[in-house]
Structures are given as C-alpha cells and as structure tokens.
Amino acid sequence: MALAGFPLQLQNCVEVNEVKHWKKELHEKAAFFAMEGFKILVPISLLVLAFSFATASDPSPLQDFCVALRDAQNGAMFSLYFLFVNGKFCKDPKLVKAEDLFFSGLNMPGNTSNQLGSKFTLVNVEQIPGLNTLGISLARIDYAPYGGLNPPHTHPRASEILVVMEGTLYVGFVTSNPNNHLITKVLYPGDVFVFPVGLIHFQFNIGKTNAIAFAGLSSQNPGVITIANAVFGSKSRINPDVLSKAFQLDENVVRYLQSRLCKLVLVGSVMKRFYRPAKTRRDRRLPINQVGFGW
C-alpha cells in the first residue's frame, strides 16, 4: 500500500498501522495545544477587557459640561437627604453662566504664619462648579522661608503634577510596600515634578526666600490624607497601644503626639467654620482651609 507523502525507503519499513497511529497522535497533540492556548487566551482577554474599563481619574463626561448644583439652589434638599451621587447634580446647560466656570484669587499669597509654615489654596468643584465631571482641580501652595513644609500626605483619588514658580523646594514620595523606596528631587523655578496617585509625598522649602508652587490634580475632588493628622490627630483617637506597637514608640510619646495633633486639627476646623468671606469683589478673600495640613 502506497503511503502518500512519505519517502519510498520509509514506506518499505513502516507498517500502515504505525503511520495511522502517528497521525492520530499528531492530531491529539494538536488538539491538546489548541485547548491549552485557549485556556491562556481567555484570562488574558478578560484582563485586557478589564483594563479597557479602568480609568486613571474621574469618569469621562457624557456631555460638554455638567455644572454642579450648589447646596443653596433648587434640588439641594433632595441631594442632601435622599440620594448620593458620584460627583454633583448637573445644572441645566441653558442656565450655565461664565461665573460657573470661573475663580479669582490665586494671585494672592497664602498666610504661612503657622506651625508648618505653609498654606494651600484649593480650587476644586466646590469653588468652580463647572469642574464637575471634568476630572481636574488646581491648588496654589505657599511656603515660608527656612523650612516651610507641606507635610507627608496622600491624595486617594488623584495624581499630582507640581510646578515651582518661586523658591527652592525639596520634594519626594515613597513607593508602596514592600520596597518603600524614597524618590526625591530639588526643584527650582520652572521645574515640574509628578506625584503618582495614592503615594505619600511632601514638599519642603530649603531656600532663604518664600516659595510658591501650583499643583494640578487628576480629580475634581482629589481628597487629602495628611499622615500625621490621620494617625495621631483623628477625631476619635486610635488606641495608644496600637500606635505604640506600630511605630515602636513609648506610650507616653504617643499620647503626647495625639494631644499635639488633636489641638492643631481643632484650631484649623474652628477657623474654617467661623470664617465668612466678604461678598464684595474688592474685599473678597480666599476661603480659609485647615492651616498647614498639607495639600
């Protein structure tokens, strides 16, 4: 029996049954590798699909703009007591005015006369309703000379890009566990530095003059967690035994830090609560945020 595709010498020494067995084995191996490839392809496809839905900042807007309704406007009672939304309720586009997309005052220096020697001025969706759904916000940070500090903090919802306008800043951030690698840089006017989302970072004025920086953030409401305030200055104090073991400190030291930080948080909260900015454009001042608690 002729064996198509095989050399004549091989046909003479190989039985037909053996050739059939080889062909069957080849088909089985091909089917096996095809199935294994499918098993690998499925999770990869799902992973790619998951990444396609992931976003690095706020959800993309579904219209040209979605100006937030202020609490004093119609619908505030509904939004406050009956429903929470990811962001703000939208104003009727036909009623949007230029003031909804405007803020004035970032030219004014911040008061750095506080324990940390820094002051941040935030412009987010609370100051500019037109930022709603756009996924961006802005801040000005002022630093006192000889050690003005924006203390270690993190933004849970945003990456930050910082540009130095005046002065000399020592900046840095720490990578996540387990490496906890410190990355630092000395910045001068015109320099730009990036702080990835969620990582602990800081800025420190090492110059002899005031320093000014502006920060752009990839969220309309980036949030801020100042490490010292959160750990030692929480409104309901963390059990000192927990912090003593976590930081390897004497319990008396922990209690001292808690008493210090709680006082700072209280002072900042009172100033923010009772400050009332003037209504006239001439006398308008920037709203006071918590003093020196990082941005």
Annotated binding site for oxalate: 150, 155, 160
CB 1 within 8 A of CB 16: yes
CB-based burial label for 241 (10 Å; 0-12, 13-18, 19+): exposed
- Exposure pattern of 253-282 as b/e (b: 16+ CB <10 Å)? ebbebbeebbebbeebeeeeeeeeeeeeee
Annotated binding residues for Mn(2+): 153, 155, 160, 201
SS3 4: coil
Proportion of the chain in helix, strand, coil states, percent, rounded to 5: 35, 20, 45
Are 129 and 67 contacting, i.e. CB atoms less than 8 angstroms apart?
Answer: yes
From residue 230, alpha-carbon distances to 27, 237, 257 in Å are 64, 10, 12
- Binding-site residues, in ranges, read 150, 153, 155, 160, 201
Distance, CA of 46 to chain centre: 26
